[in-house]
Amino acid sequence: MEKKEMKNCDVYKELRRRYDMSQEQLAEQSHITRDKLGDIERGKVTPAPEDIVSMSRSLNGKRLCRWFCYAQCPIGKEIDLLPVDPLNEELLSTTMMRIMNELNKLKSIDINRLIEISMDGVIDKSEMSDYRILRDSLAELGHAYGTLLRIEDDGKYIEKE
């Protein structure tokens, strides 16, 4: 059976259900009317940023805010934000493995080779392979670092002092 594509409005209902909350409970905790929350869940209205912040506090930290900025905010759509899945939490173990994998790739490039590549200010054909490894690994490290910051921001794996 083909999996039905989730619409933006479905995210709100699914998150509420995952936290075992009724519309009334979430509306009360978020200081949003139940009618407005229902309209948001049915896709009749796009929530205002302040509604997202209130709902996010009641549901799951800042992940809903980040997803809204990525998926629904007109400004967020204009800039190149990293994708955020509001329904799946990032895992610390997977993220750390991604970082270690990319660091290992970078170890394969000799530091003297990087100096050679950069000295003349031009990347020629013989340097392209090492350059691509460097570029792609640094990009992946940047994405993984962003994920680590989101994990820390959510407080999921951080022991409270």
Query: Residue 118 has what pLDDT?
Result: 84
Query: Residue 27 has what pLDDT?
Result: 95
Tokens of 85: 């899945």
pLDDT means over runs of 10, the chain (161 residues): 63 87 94 94 91 88 81 80 70 86 84 84 88 87 83 66 59
What whole-number distance in Å separates Cα of residue 4 and Cα of residue 94? 27
130 touches 117 (CB < 8 A): yes
Q: Which residue has the tokens 């709902």?
A: 55
Query: Residue 93 has what pLDDT?
Result: 84
Query: Residue 60 has what pLDDT?
Result: 67
What whole-number distance in Å separates Cα of residue 80 and Cα of residue 39? 29
Rounded to the nearest 10°, the torsion over CA 141, 143, 147, 150 is 120
What whole-number distance in Å separates Cα of residue 24 and Cα of residue 78? 34
pLDDT digits 0-9 by tens, 142-153: 888 888 877 777
Query: Residue 75 has what pLDDT?
Result: 82
